Chain A
Amino acid sequence: MGAGAVFAGPAGGPLHLFTKSCMTREAVLRLSGITKRFGPLVANDAISFELMRGEVIALLGENGAGKTTLMNILFGHYVADEGAVEAFGAPLHPGDPKAALAAGIGMVHQHFTLADNMTVLENIALGTAPLWRPRLDRGAARARIRALSADFGLSVEPDATVAALTVGERQRVEILKALYRDARILILDEPTAVLTPGETEALFRTLKLLVAKGLSIIFISHKLAEVMAVSDRVLVLRAGRLAGERVTASTGRAELAALMVGQEVVSPPVPAMRSGTPLLVLSEVSTGGRGTGARLNRVSLTLRAGEITGLAGVSGNGQSALAGVIAGTETLTTGEIEIGGTVVSAWSPREALRRGIGRIPEDRHAVGTIGDMSVAENVISEQYRTARFARHGLLDWAAARAFAEEIIRDYDVKCPSPDSRIRLLSGGNMQKLILGRALDPKPRIILANQPTRGLDVGAVSYVHRRLLEARERGAAILLISEDLEEILALSDRIVVMSRGRLSGASARGERTIAELGELMAGHQGEAA
């Protein structure tokens, strides 16, 4: 495509006829034939698309589909093996984030890149003023931030310290940072993962205002509802390839989900609840002040056999501490833990495993796996001391490898061999290995902390199915999630956590989404 390509359609061809007034719009960003390989893995395979002025494109895809790699190439973190990027008609120098910034591309990462100990203003102005200048022109910067805030509904106090901000406010700072640098193209990577329903709506309003001012947006997500709500066009990535391109107005959730995974997705049915015996009882549990999240304040909770208890809440309200208590990594300052009718004394991860607790940790990379060790070495990490894998202090690597192969087969993990380093696997496959490791000993109690965060539709329904299977065989499950839909779909009982305290439990269907959201958001309001 040369200079005369303004009137030529993108790869989708006839689809283009349906976009609103596309003939008068210019392509602000054009990717052609982007290919990126990591060893034998093809992360991006000949991907081409155009982003129009004033358009929101949703980039939808499974974990490992290549979304993040593609955006990293666009933003200059990686260099593509083949293909080129054009921004506003000029070729973009590859592999240079500065060039991307200069070309008007701004990125809001999934994990924020803010300095906690500095103010909003300092964070935004950081890197925009020359270093040799002794002082920042704070007055002008402040005025500009205030103006941008007002224009786009991004209310945030310029002189507040970032550490004191809520997650939603931090995200607004990230967006302001990009706008402050005159971004004309905004890339948002999973922006709603950490937001309450109310904050998500506010974000969408902001996006509408940005588009109205002529900005273009690439919205990366795996949540179909949001993609439908916010985008003009949807690009679906699957296994590194562009699996399809649809105009949002003329497609539906089912079609997009099918494009993503290559097959129809069916939500698992949740059979009726039978109330079982209490397997794990926390009474009046409090924790000390280690880590960043809230500490627990006299929390009581009962997990019953054959029941999924859903724990809803905005992140940072004590879910990590509660998960730590059940996983054995957190020490109690008050209260006690009762498992199967006996109160535990010495509490540790090993003791938790011994007592039959299967744990799925929140952070797959930092806590769930040891990246530089092999798949086999990782799957035995909770059982390596048992007679199955060790005799007289010697490890039985044949047994370990066989166990890894069993999990790879039973849990449908895509991985070259039990000897490959686990770091090289995609998030979804890593999670399936963790699931296999945790569920293999048939635990009576299961802690599932954000088990589907960042996973694609296929992997999510897989994880859900496995959890429901465990429930069927009588396990007591605590499901911690920031995704309210997930909680509502799976839980027999729902509790809401806020500021280190638990609300009373409500049975399935007893509270509406709005009520729960209010409970989460309302409590959060008190905290701020």
Chain B
Amino acid sequence: MRLEPKPAPSLGVLLLYPLGAIAATLVFVSLLVLAAGASPFSVIWLVAKGAAGSQFAALETLTRATPLIFTGLAVAVAFRAKLWNIGAEAQLYVGGIVTVVLGTGALPLPQPVLLPVIAIAAMAAGALLLLGPALLKTRFGVDEVVTTLLLNFVVLLFVAMLLEGALKDPMGLGWPQSSKVVADAQLPRIVTGKRLHYGFVLALAAAFAIWVVMKKTVLGYEMRAVGHNPEAARFAGIPVDPVLMKTALLSGGLAALAGFSEVAGLKGNLTLDLSPGYGYSGIVVAMLAMLNPLGVVAAAIFVAGIFVGADAMSRSAGVPSYIADVVVATALLTMVTAILLSRFRVRWR
């Protein structure tokens, strides 16, 4: 077996690759479901119904997709410039910390001012967190995969420390959780009585903004050039290191918005389970979207739907909801394969 390069496919054909990847994933997962002793068709049907079968289910899926859009965008932006940010999880938690610190009464501002101030502060904190690894990479050649990945654990332990100390809720009956943010620091709900909040709208706006940045702006052009060929970019006079810095700031800021949106929109306080791995799932989302910012929205909704649908399915079909993790992981693998196939033709002997 060998790979030969082939010309870029048209947009229509390009869209077939993610669909093909999803189809391949379903086939593979069906085998696992069979092994678990259930019928693949009914399981797929139950997952789909659990993800989008009712207003409640659909809104729940969008709620779950919100942080994934932010982390997916963070990863897509960074990976486009070949800055391997594996630390969206840490940046998310830093955004959550800032939201709780500023949102629990420290700033006596009205809601229309307070929320943007907190959001910007959260972004700044997340951006600064990624700036460190980016500086180490450009100055000393330290591998950012290692530094950003390890920072996830550092930050999580730091959060644990805060929740047992400085930020511990005095009314929390000893649980490791922070106080709730004040009402003015909460993102309003889109549908009264449902969990979906305006963080989702913010996420859509962010996706569109990033799409504009990548497609239309000088910075987006520089980021893509640096990502594709840093040496040629440097030769052409593109300031490679500053571009990587800006990429890091943007990526870290986006991931921190996920933390802001989860705390201010959904949870209200900071806990150690604020994120069930949204930072890592963001990598899957970005890859499924082939790093396209608008694709990130679709991919995030798909991944969120799998998780939400699998929860519902496991209650009625008796197949463990871990199947959702398998689906997402398999989707990542098939997608990476599909991206390869979109650029190369496979020749068999």
Name A residues whose Cβ lies closer than 8 Å to a Cβ of B. Answer: 38-40, 77-79, 95-96, 327-329, 348-350, 352-353, 359, 361, 366-373, 377, 381-382, 384-385, 390, 393-395, 397, 420-421, 423-424
Tell me whether A348 and B237 are in contact (CB under 8 A).
yes
Tell me whether B218 and A367 are in contact (CB under 8 A).
no
The residue among A361, A371, A372, A377 with the most chain B CB atoms within 10 A of its own CB is: A372
Give the distance in Å from the alpha carbon of A390 to the alpha carbon of B228 in the complex.
21
**CB-based closest 4 A-B pairs:** A350-B237, A381-B236, A39-B7, A349-B237
- For residue B273, CB closer than 8 A to chain A, the reply is no
Give the distance in Å from the alpha carbon of A78 to the alpha carbon of B349 in the complex.
10
Give the distance in Å from the alpha carbon of A424 to the alpha carbon of B228 in the complex.
15
Tell me whether A95 and B347 are in contact (CB under 8 A).
yes
Q: B2 contacts which of A95, A373, A381 (Cβ < 8 Å)?
A: A95
Question: B225 to chain A: which residues have CB within 8 Å?
Answer: 370, 373, 377, 381
- For residue B231, CB closer than 8 A to chain A, the reply is yes
The residue among A78, A369, A371, A373 with the most chain B CB atoms within 10 A of its own CB is: A373
Question: A359 to chain B: which residues have CB within 8 Å?
Answer: 235
Give the distance in Å from the alpha carbon of A394 to the alpha carbon of B213 in the complex.
9
Q: 15 A-B contacts, Cβ less than 8 Å apart?
A: A40-B7, A95-B349, A96-B349, A327-B235, A352-B237, A359-B235, A369-B229, A371-B229, A381-B232, A381-B233, A382-B237, A390-B218, A394-B217, A394-B218, A395-B218
Question: B48 to chain A: which residues have CB within 8 Å?
Answer: none
Tell me whether A353 and B232 are in contact (CB under 8 A).
no
Tell me whether A367 and B235 are in contact (CB under 8 A).
yes
- For residue B171, CB closer than 8 A to chain A, the reply is no
Q: A385 contacts which of B218, B229, B233, B347 (Cβ < 8 Å)?
A: B218
Tell me whether A395 and B216 are in contact (CB under 8 A).
yes
Q: A329 contacts which of B219, B229, B235 (Cβ < 8 Å)?
A: B235
Extra contacts besides A350-B239, A370-B232, A381-B232 (16): CB < 8 Å: A38-B6, A40-B7, A96-B349, A327-B235, A329-B235, A349-B236, A350-B237, A353-B237, A366-B229, A366-B232, A381-B237, A384-B218, A394-B218, A395-B216, A420-B8, A424-B7
Give the distance in Å from the alpha carbon of A385 to the alpha carbon of B225 in the complex.
14
Give the distance in Å from the alpha carbon of A39 to the alpha carbon of B5 in the complex.
10
CB contacts under 8 Å to A, within B294-349, are 347, 349
Chain A: CB-nearest residue to B238: A381
Chain A: CB-nearest residue to B216: A394
Tell me whether A368 and B347 are in contact (CB under 8 A).
no
- For residue B221, CB closer than 8 A to chain A, the reply is yes
Q: How many A-B residue pairs have CB under 8 A?
A: 83
Tell me whether A372 and B231 are in contact (CB under 8 A).
no
Question: A423 to chain B: which residues have CB within 8 Å?
Answer: 5
Query: Smallest distance from the beta carbon of A358 to chain B beta carbons, Å?
Result: 12
Give the distance in Å from the alpha carbon of A253 to the alpha carbon of B218 in the complex.
49
- For residue B197, CB closer than 8 A to chain A, the reply is no
Name B residues whose Cβ lies closer than 8 Å to a Cβ of A. Answer: 2, 4-8, 216-219, 221, 224-225, 228-229, 231-239, 347, 349
Give the distance in Å from the alpha carbon of A246 to the alpha carbon of B233 in the complex.
45
Give the distance in Å from the alpha carbon of A348 to the alpha carbon of B237 in the complex.
7
Question: B228 to chain A: which residues have CB within 8 Å?
Answer: 370-373
Query: Smallest distance from the beta carbon of A427 to chain B beta carbons, Å?
Result: 15
Tell me whether B232 and A368 are in contact (CB under 8 A).
yes
Query: Smallest distance from the beta carbon of B292 to chain A beta carbons, Å?
Result: 15
Question: B221 to chain A: which residues have CB within 8 Å?
Answer: 377, 384, 395
Query: Smallest distance from the beta carbon of A232 to chain B beta carbons, Å?
Result: 33
Chain A: CB-nearest residue to B219: A393
Tell me whether B235 and A361 are in contact (CB under 8 A).
yes
Query: Smallest distance from the beta carbon of B7 to chain A beta carbons, Å?
Result: 4
Tell me whether B7 and A79 are in contact (CB under 8 A).
no
Give the distance in Å from the alpha carbon of A38 to the alpha carbon of B4 in the complex.
9
Chain B: CB-nearest residue to A351: B237
Give the distance in Å from the alpha carbon of A453 to the alpha carbon of B2 in the complex.
30
Give the distance in Å from the alpha carbon of A371 to the alpha carbon of B4 in the complex.
16
The residue among B6, B232, B233, B238 with the most chain A CB atoms within 10 A of its own CB is: B232
Question: B347 to chain A: which residues have CB within 8 Å?
Answer: 79, 95
Query: Smallest distance from the beta carbon of A445 to chain B beta carbons, Å?
Result: 15
Q: A395 contacts which of B217, B229, B231 (Cβ < 8 Å)?
A: B217
Q: B231 contacts which of A40, A366, A381 (Cβ < 8 Å)?
A: A366
Tell me whether B224 and A367 are in contact (CB under 8 A).
no
Chain B: CB-nearest residue to A353: B237
Query: Smallest distance from the beta carbon of B329 to chain A beta carbons, Å?
Result: 27
Give the distance in Å from the alpha carbon of A370 to the alpha carbon of B225 in the complex.
7
Give the distance in Å from the alpha carbon of A78 to the alpha carbon of B4 in the complex.
8
Question: B2 to chain A: which residues have CB within 8 Å?
Answer: 77, 95
Question: A367 to chain B: which residues have CB within 8 Å?
Answer: 231-232, 235
Question: A424 to chain B: which residues have CB within 8 Å?
Answer: 7
Chain A: CB-nearest residue to B4: A78
Query: Smallest distance from the beta carbon of A75 to chain B beta carbons, Å?
Result: 13
Question: A39 to chain B: which residues have CB within 8 Å?
Answer: 6-7
Give the distance in Å from the alpha carbon of A353 to the alpha carbon of B236 in the complex.
9
The residue among B221, B224, B233, B349 with the most chain A CB atoms within 10 A of its own CB is: B221
Question: B232 to chain A: which residues have CB within 8 Å?
Answer: 366-370, 381
Q: A370 contacts which of B216, B217, B229 (Cβ < 8 Å)?
A: B229
Question: A353 to chain B: which residues have CB within 8 Å?
Answer: 237
Question: B234 to chain A: which residues have CB within 8 Å?
Answer: 329, 349
Question: B8 to chain A: which residues have CB within 8 Å?
Answer: 420-421
Query: Smallest distance from the beta carbon of B238 to chain A beta carbons, Å?
Result: 7
Question: A373 to chain B: which residues have CB within 8 Å?
Answer: 224-225, 228
Give the distance in Å from the alpha carbon of A350 to the alpha carbon of B228 in the complex.
19
Question: A96 to chain B: which residues have CB within 8 Å?
Answer: 349
Chain B: CB-nearest residue to A390: B218
Give the distance in Å from the alpha carbon of A204 to the alpha carbon of B232 in the complex.
37
Give the distance in Å from the alpha carbon of A397 to the alpha carbon of B6 in the complex.
26
Chain B: CB-nearest residue to A419: B8
Question: A397 to chain B: which residues have CB within 8 Å?
Answer: 216
Question: B6 to chain A: which residues have CB within 8 Å?
Answer: 38-39
Query: Smallest distance from the beta carbon of B252 to chain A beta carbons, Å?
Result: 21
Tell me whether B231 and A382 are in contact (CB under 8 A).
no
Give the distance in Å from the alpha carbon of A79 to the alpha carbon of B7 in the complex.
17
Give the distance in Å from the alpha carbon of A328 to the alpha carbon of B237 in the complex.
9
Given contacts A370-B225, A381-B225, A395-B218, contact A38 B7 (CB under 8 A): yes
Give the distance in Å from the alpha carbon of A397 to the alpha carbon of B217 in the complex.
10
Query: Smallest distance from the beta carbon of B213 to chain A beta carbons, Å?
Result: 9
Question: B236 to chain A: which residues have CB within 8 Å?
Answer: 349, 381-382
Query: Smallest distance from the beta carbon of A329 to chain B beta carbons, Å?
Result: 6
Question: B4 to chain A: which residues have CB within 8 Å?
Answer: 38, 78
Query: Smallest distance from the beta carbon of B5 to chain A beta carbons, Å?
Result: 8
Chain B: CB-nearest residue to A396: B216
Query: Smallest distance from the beta carbon of A61 to chain B beta carbons, Å?
Result: 21
Give the distance in Å from the alpha carbon of A40 to the alpha carbon of B233 in the complex.
30
Question: B219 to chain A: which residues have CB within 8 Å?
Answer: 393
Chain A: CB-nearest residue to B220: A395
Question: A371 to chain B: which residues have CB within 8 Å?
Answer: 228-229
Question: B237 to chain A: which residues have CB within 8 Å?
Answer: 328, 348-350, 352-353, 381-382
